[in-house]
Amino acid sequence: MAETGVDNESSFDDIADIKEAPRYSCSLAGAYASTLGVYGAVPILHSGGGCGVAQLFGQFYTSGECAPGVQGGTGTPCTSLVEQHVIFGGEDRLQKLIKSTTELMEGSLYVVITGCVPSLIGDDVESVVRKFKAETKNRIPIIYVNAPGFSGNTYKGYELFLNAVIDQYLVPIKKKKRTINILGVVPFQHVFWKGDLETLKNTFAKIGVEANIIFTEFDGPEKLKRIPAAELNLVLNPWLGHSVAQRLEEKFGTPYVTFPSVPVEPQQTTALLGIVAEKLGIPEKKVKAIVAAEERRAYRNVEYFGDTLIIGMPHSYTAVVADSATAVGVTKYIANEVGYLPDITIITDNPPEEKRPEILRELSENIDCVVKPEVFFESDTHKIRQLLKGRSYLVLLASSLEKYITDEFNDALHLSVSFPINDRMIIDHSYVGYRGGIVLMEDIITKFTGPL
Amino acid sequence: MNSKDDVHICDKKLNLKEKTCPNREQRANGINVYYGPVTQLIKDAKAGNLKLSERKFQQSAGCTLNFYLAIRISTIRDAVLIFHAPVGCSASALGYRELFRNIPTAAGRPPFDLHWLTTGITEKDIVYGAGDKLKKAIRVAEERYKPRAIFVLTSCASGIIGEDIEGAVSAMQPHIKAKIVPVHCEGIRSKLVQTGYDAFWHGVLKYLVKKPEKKQDDLVNIASMLSYTWQDRVEMTSILKRMGLRPNFVPEFATVQQLEELSEAAVTAPLCASYTDYISRGLEQEYGVPYFMYPSPVGFQNTDEWLRKIGEYTGKEREAETVIEEERRKWGPRMDAIRKELGNIKGNGKKIEMLGALGQGRLLSQLPYFDELGIKSSAALSQDYDNLILEDLEKVVDQVGDFNILVNTFQAAEQAHITRMLNPDITLTCPFQGSAYKRNKGATRTHAVRCDNLKWSQQTAYAGAVAYGSFLLQGMKSISWQKTMLEKTQYGYKDWYFKQSDPLYYLEKDAV
pLDDT, position A90: 97
pLDDT, position A13: 53
B267 and B241 Cβ atoms separated by less than 8 Å: no
Set of chain A residues whose Cβ sits within 8 Å of the Cβ of B140: 15, 18
Query: How close are the terminal C-alpha atoms of chain B, in Å?
Result: 27
A318 and A397 Cβ atoms separated by less than 8 Å: yes
Q: Which residue out of A3, A11, A18 would a mutagenesis test of the B interface target, given it has the greatest number of B Cβ atoms within 10 Å?
A: A18
Set of chain A residues whose Cβ sits within 8 Å of the Cβ of B109: none
With CB atoms and an 8 Å threshold, state whether B95 touches A62.
yes
The reply to whether B243 touches chain A by the CB within 8 Å rule is no
* 3-class SS letters over B338-351: HHHHHHHCCCCCCC
The reply to whether A45 touches chain B by the CB within 8 Å rule is yes
Kindly provide the b/e burial profile for residues A163-172, where b requires at least 16 CB atoms within 10 angstroms of the residue's own CB: bbbbebbbee
Q: Which residue out of A1, A11, A74 would a mutagenesis test of the B interface target, given it has the greatest number of B Cβ atoms within 10 Å?
A: A74
B442 and B434 Cβ atoms separated by less than 8 Å: no
Q: How many CB atoms are located within 10 Å of the residue A424 CB?
A: 15
A235 residue type, one letter: V
> Distance from A19 to chain B by nearest Cα, in Å?
5
With CB atoms and an 8 Å threshold, state whether A17 touches B120.
yes
Closest alpha carbon within chain B to A383 = B144
> Distance from B187 to chain A by nearest Cα, in Å?
6
Set of chain B residues whose Cβ sits within 8 Å of the Cβ of A153: 87
A169 and A225 Cβ atoms separated by less than 8 Å: yes
- Closest of A197, A131, A153 to residue A32, by C-alpha: A153
The pLDDT tens digits of the residues spanning B37-59 come to 999 999 999 999 999 999 999 99
Set of chain A residues whose Cβ sits within 8 Å of the Cβ of B499: none
With CB atoms and an 8 Å threshold, state whether A74 touches B412.
yes
pLDDT, position A14: 61
With CB atoms and an 8 Å threshold, state whether B95 touches A422.
yes
User: φ, ψ for residue A183 (rounded to 5)?
Assistant: -120, 165
Query: How close are the terminal C-alpha atoms of chain A, in Å?
Result: 64
The reply to whether B189 touches chain A by the CB within 8 Å rule is yes
**Cβ neighbours of residue B500 under 8 Å, at least 6 residues apart?**
none
With CB atoms and an 8 Å threshold, state whether B61 touches A100.
no
pLDDT, position A10: 40
Set of chain A residues whose Cβ sits within 8 Å of the Cβ of B124: 14
- Closest of B416, B59, B493 to residue A44, by C-alpha: B59
The reply to whether A106 touches chain B by the CB within 8 Å rule is yes
> Distance from A306 to chain B by nearest Cα, in Å?
31
B426 residue type, one letter: I
Q: Which residues numbered 318-377 in A keep a CB inside 8 Å of some CB on B?
A: none
Per 3-state DSSP, chain A is made up of helix, strand and coil in percentages (nearest 5) of: 45, 15, 40
User: φ, ψ for residue B307 (rounded to 5)?
Assistant: -65, -40
Which helix (H) or strand (E) segment holds residue A109: the answer is: strand A109-114
Report the alpha-carbon distance of residue A296 to residue B222 in Å, rounded. 63
**Cβ neighbours of residue B453 under 8 Å, at least 6 residues apart?**
B102, B103, B107, B229, B230, B231
The reply to whether B62 touches chain A by the CB within 8 Å rule is yes
The reply to whether A150 touches chain B by the CB within 8 Å rule is yes
Pairing of strands B404-407, B179-183: unpaired
Q: Which of B62, B126, B133 sits opposite A120 (nearest CB)?
A: B126
Which DSSP letter does residue A414 get?
E
> Distance from B498 to chain A by nearest Cα, in Å?
10
Please, which residues bridge with residue B150 across strands? B80, B180
Which DSSP letter does residue B291 get?
B
pLDDT, position B433: 66
Q: What is the DSSP string of B95-107?
A: GTTTTTTTS-GGG
Q: Which residue out of A95, A150, A348 would a mutagenesis test of the B interface target, given it has the greatest number of B Cβ atoms within 10 Å?
A: A150
ipTM, 2 dp? 0.96
Contact pairs from chain A to chain B, CB under 8 Å = 276
3-state secondary structure of B81: strand
B7 and B46 Cβ atoms separated by less than 8 Å: yes
The reply to whether A79 touches chain B by the CB within 8 Å rule is yes
The reply to whether B64 touches chain A by the CB within 8 Å rule is yes
> Distance from B410 to chain A by nearest Cα, in Å?
7
Set of chain A residues whose Cβ sits within 8 Å of the Cβ of B174: 5
Instruction: Let me know if A205 is exposed, middle or buried by CB neighbors in 10 A (0-12, 13-18, 19+).
Output: exposed
> Distance from B362 to chain A by nearest Cα, in Å?
20
Report the alpha-carbon distance of residue A181 to residue A37 in Å, rounded. 15
pLDDT, position A410: 67
Which helix (H) or strand (E) segment holds residue A278: the answer is: helix A266-280
- What crossing angle do the helices spanning A324-336 and A436-446 adopt, rounded to 10°? 80
Nearest 5 degrees, angle CA A162-CA A168-CA A173?
Answer: 85
- Closest of B460, B469, B475 to residue B337, by C-alpha: B469
Closest alpha carbon within chain A to B85 = A150
The reply to whether B449 touches chain A by the CB within 8 Å rule is no
Report the alpha-carbon distance of residue A156 to residue A25 in Å, rounded. 10
Q: How many CB atoms are located within 10 Å of the residue A7 CB?
A: 12
The reply to whether B86 touches chain A by the CB within 8 Å rule is yes
Pairing of strands A19-20, B115-118: antiparallel
User: φ, ψ for residue A211 (rounded to 5)?
Assistant: -95, 125
- Mean pLDDT of successive 10-residue segments in chain B (512 residues)? 59 93 95 96 95 95 91 91 98 88 84 92 95 96 97 98 96 98 97 96 98 97 83 94 97 95 98 93 98 95 98 98 98 98 94 90 91 93 93 94 93 93 91 81 88 89 97 96 94 95 90 50
With CB atoms and an 8 Å threshold, state whether B98 touches A403.
yes
The reply to whether B190 touches chain A by the CB within 8 Å rule is yes
> Could you tell me the strand order of the sheet in which A210-212 lies?
A210-212, A179-183, A232-236, A256-259
The reply to whether A73 touches chain B by the CB within 8 Å rule is yes
**CA B228, B230, B232, B236 torsion: positive or negative?**
positive
The reply to whether A51 touches chain B by the CB within 8 Å rule is yes
Q: Which of B62, B88, B189 sits opposite A83 (nearest CB)?
A: B189
Set of chain A residues whose Cβ sits within 8 Å of the Cβ of B432: 53, 56, 73-74
> Could you tell me the strand order of the sheet in which A374-377 lies?
A374-377, A341-347, A317-322, A395-398, A413-416
The pLDDT tens digits of the residues spanning A195-218 come to 999 999 999 999 999 999 999 999
Closest alpha carbon within chain A to B116 = A20
3-state secondary structure of A45: strand
pLDDT, position B11: 81
pLDDT, position A138: 96
The reply to whether B360 touches chain A by the CB within 8 Å rule is no
3-state secondary structure of A19: strand
The reply to whether B58 touches chain A by the CB within 8 Å rule is yes
Report the alpha-carbon distance of residue B293 to residue B16 in Å, rounded. 21
**Cβ neighbours of residue B359 under 8 Å, at least 6 residues apart?**
B272, B274, B275, B382, B383, B384
> Distance from A387 to chain B by nearest Cα, in Å?
14
Report the alpha-carbon distance of residue B433 to residue B444 in Å, rounded. 12
Which DSSP letter does residue B161 get?
T
* 3-class SS letters over A282-346: CCHHHHHHHHHHHHHHHHHHHHHHHHHHHHHCCCCEEEEEECHHHHHHHHHHHHHCCCCEEEEEE
Report the alpha-carbon distance of residue B119 to residue A152 in Å, rounded. 13
With CB atoms and an 8 Å threshold, state whether A51 touches B60.
yes
Report the alpha-carbon distance of residue A29 to residue A41 in Å, rounded. 15
Set of chain A residues whose Cβ sits within 8 Å of the Cβ of B101: 403-404
With CB atoms and an 8 Å threshold, state whether B94 touches A82.
no
A38 residue type, one letter: V
- Mean pLDDT of successive 10-residue segments in chain A (452 residues)? 44 75 98 98 98 96 95 96 94 98 97 98 97 97 98 98 98 98 98 98 98 97 98 98 98 98 95 98 96 97 97 96 98 97 98 97 97 98 94 95 78 95 97 97 96 90
Set of chain A residues whose Cβ sits within 8 Å of the Cβ of B172: 5-6
Report the alpha-carbon distance of residue B281 to residue B372 in Å, rounded. 30
